[in-house]
């Protein structure tokens, strides 16, 4: 059996009166993440962790932000496509551990739904998807609510 670890990172600008998708959940907030797709920072970090672990480059390589095909698309679709790429190479995912960093809104009430969305997209158990959240203690661009950051690690096996 071969085992590999992957790490992913993503950041998106926050803009007033913009939708805020995280983990496939549309959060009610006065600001939202801005990007070519739905700007779901958590799913993008997970995709990058998975692709990196399998040595399949990164999310921008597979889903270019200049390609109209991906404009406004749900990042759940990107995660499903990422899983297809991994499985085509014989990889299965053991687990994902992710961290969100933002000041608001509170993420904790939404974590079970995010885990469910991600587990379904990856055809995995919710027990294998860990999501945590923290603030930046009002410091920097995150503290000023100018952006949101996500980190993810994963373990894959063949």
Known binding residues are 10-12, 36-37, 44, 58-60, 63-67, 134-137, 141, 144
Annotated binding site for a divalent metal cation: 10, 12, 44
In DSSP terms, which residues pair with 94 in a beta bridge? none
In DSSP terms, which residues pair with 20 in a beta bridge? 27
Which residues, in sequence order, are CB contacts of 9 under 8 Å at separation 6+? 45, 48, 149, 150, 151, 152
Instruction: Enter the tokens of residue 110.
Output: 């939404």
Give the burial string for 101-114 (b: 16+ CB within 10 Å, else e): bbbebebeebbeeb
Q: Write the DSSP string, 73-134.
A: --HHHHHHHHHHHHHHTT-EEEEEEEEEE-SSS--GGGHHHHHHHHHHHHT--GGGEEEEEE
């Amino acid at each position: 059996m071969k085992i590999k670890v992957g790490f992913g990172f993503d950041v998106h600008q926050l803009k007033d009166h913009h939708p805020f998708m995280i983990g496939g959940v549309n959060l009610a907030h006065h600001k939202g993440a801005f990007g070519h797709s739905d700007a779901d920072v958590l799913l993008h970090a997970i995709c990058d962790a998975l692709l990196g672990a399998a040595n399949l480059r990164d999310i921008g390589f597979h889903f270019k932000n200049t390609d109209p095909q991906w404009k406004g698309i749900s990042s759940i679709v990107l995660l499903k496509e990422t899983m297809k790429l991994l499985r085509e190479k014989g990889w299965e995912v053991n687990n994902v551990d992710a961290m969100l960093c933002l000041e608001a809104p509170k993420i904790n009430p939404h974590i079970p739904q995010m885990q469910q969305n991600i587990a379904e997209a990856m055809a995995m158990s919710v027990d294998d998807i860990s999501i945590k959240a923290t603030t930046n203690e009002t410091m920097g661009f995150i503290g000023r609510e100018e952006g949101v950051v996500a980190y993810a690690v994963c373990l894959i096996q063949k």
